[in-house]
Structure 1
Amino acid sequence: MKIVFLIILVIFLPLKAMAFETIDIEKLYGNTIPVSISTIGQEQNTKLEKILNSVTDVISQDLQTTVDMEYKGLLNYTMDANILNLKKYNYDGIAYNINVNVFQMPSEADKYVIEVRVYDVKNESVLTEKKYAFKEDNIRKTSHIVTDISYFAMTGKIGYFQSKIVYSSSDVVKNKNSKKSIYIIDQDGYGEKLLLQGGILNSPIIDSKKNALMYIDMTTGEPFLKAVNIFTQEKISLDKVYPSLSGKKYTSSPSLCKNDNCLILTNLLEDGSSIIKLSSKGDESTIVNKSETINTSGSTSPDDQMLVFESNYEGRRNLYVSDISAIQMTKLLVGNDGIYAEPSWSPDGNWICFTKLRNGIFHIGIIRPDGTDEQILYSSYMLENPMWLPNSDGIIFVEKKSLSSKTTLVMIDLSGRIVRKIKTTTGATSPFMWIIK
């Protein structure tokens, strides 16, 4: 989807009240939602001006990474000196305007306030208005919050701009002394931070209701599921989080149910692997248990009633769907034109993403839960670990462009048009996107 994007400095005065009119954005603007940013001007070269410029830079960068818009540069207009002329914006096809101001908090010299209003231009009405206090070293985080509330007001969709990504470093495991650590980074590539080290640590996931960072520790050569507090990194006894895990050592491919009240795991067996579901109440159930087959990478539907997973049940790795009670299992993809793996069900339930290996090339693709409408979004030397963005608008995954290159985190929208690469210090595997609440 394409958007005309406009940044312009204006002075704000209250707008007249008008009856709200429902607008069909698709009909009015096609597949675009044109958006502008405006600010209340500050004196040139002041500290407030610099902070305001930093805020609008972050917001505009955030908006350009969504499937909803395309940045078209700075357009200048001669405006009324004292009025935010929304009708003028409307004549130029602007649907919404984000008006931002920054001022110093009178009572605390080291704090500032961002004031934001999101306008429906056609109706000359305010969709939302908020104020946020912040310190200068917290500009990016506060700006992401502003983008989140603005994006929701304009689209009705959850923003992910203040989200963070946890991932395992991509160090090559050559011997027992090799290390793989767990890092965290902002979704826009800033604020990279080491969280855990001291072993071979893989597959991090975050249970936000329990503030638990769970991961697979392969330091001894066998996979053990462990957990720490995401904020303090203090060890958490898994018996307290998922009681039925007590005594289990051989587990891999952890994923959370969509409602965060259960955990899906691969349980390694002597003749293959099964997929089990653990609840925080202590209940355990086996969803998939086919002898002499590898069943792994389970991901639940939004209502947690269905599961998609990969299996070599018929000889070649493919994707299957099962109800959560394991009464019925259906092959999702028909045909043998590739090896399908690592499925993930979208939060809105409309798609399943996956990796596909065909003729030596890896692909990231999507398919409907009923097995129709398969689409390939991205291809490269090696691709793995696809995971959905929180609003289902795109996918984050890991790319390795050649045998000798370092792995990179990649975000892509469902059209394949917007591709954004997130550089990390060590390379990355197993990304997990965490929504800050």
Structure 2
Amino acid sequence: MTLLDLTPRTATSDRLATLPVVVIGAGPIGLAAAAHLVDRGIDVVVLESGDTVAASVSSWGHTRLFSPWKHLVDPVARRMLEASGWELPDPERAPTGTELVEQYLRPLAALEPIAAVVRTGVRVVGVARAGMDRTRSKARSTTPFVLRVATADGVDELQARAVIDASGTYSTPNSLSSNGLPLLGFEEITDVVAPALPDVRGRDRARFAGRRTTVVGAGHSAANTLLALAELARDEPGTRVTWLIRNAQAVRVSASPDDELADRAKLGSRVDQAVAEGVIEVVDGFEIIRARRAGEGVALVGYRGGEVVTHETDVVVNATGFRPDLDMLREIRLELDDIVEAPKRLAPLIDPNVHSCGTVEPHGFRELTHPENGFFIVGMKSYGRAPTFLLATGYEQVRSVAAWLDGDLASASNVELVLPATGVCSTDLGGGGSSCCS
């Protein structure tokens, strides 16, 4: 199927009205955006880089989410599914990523009006205005967007009247280096570095059994992996587990009695117990500066206590968190916060130095607006480097954005959201950790 739109370009609002809204990403937020747009009768195309919907979620499907089902299903998507006979799973139970995909996201994507607009295996490599780079201003807001995409058939382009970027951040992890730059020597050790949330007791078991593994990161993704490794260490002789963190303590992993997400509240105490039992060794205050091969393993070199030290291990798990891929948006006029790389109006509401998942104020299209009219970043990517995102927050974002695109300013402005209280997500942006709030 050819995606390229060869219709003659005209810089008019009438031309824009004939084009679809393009949603980048068919994860939970992208599919929710599609549901809201379809529900409002707005033409939409969803582009997913994976071979299936929710490909990123599937990659960590063995991991249980913190939120129960009642917080994980978008209201409009639920209404559409229930009309087809679907039933919400146990509202109080937290599913695994695989269960979320199989019991919610795939059924949603299979609904006829959604299935008709989703294109998988389509990777967006660039977004711009048709015939304009970011320096040109005349008639910019009435000129269609153009998306350059890569498929199995090659590179192509299509046009859109608006773009909703819900591509997430899972494919762009933070660096292992404490200064945020690409780790010196990383090219030598790529084969012994695993991404966040490997399936330690499942498909990836052979990679970790009987070996030394070092988990780098201070967030809940790190904690989940550490607990899986601790279980493996009890079953497989010679399995050793080290938790390497930059600061004196892992402030993002704690057992807060105020956390309304019970599974998350238990995580910290379980890690503490494994550390107390000696199953997990903690190396704190370690600022990684470079890496080099050490036999079949790796040596991480860094500063600790003001001295240069070396930590040797067989496998490294990079659980340092994620950052947004902004390269594909270089020709789009963005207004991002200097610190967390979130939309500038949103950033003060999600600053992890101040806010946890449950204290983020409701927000919608206004906080997500950029100088590029009709372009929105939503979902986890809208939070930039802040690790405090909840799916329920993303669902409210796309509800508001869809209403605005439909010209329904009253509904778009009426932003309401009740989040579960928590005391555990985040107090130290420099700690290095991944999202704690799914």
TM-score range for the pair, normalised by the shorter chain length: under 0.3
TM-score (norm 2): 0.28
Q: Which has the higher strand share?
A: 1
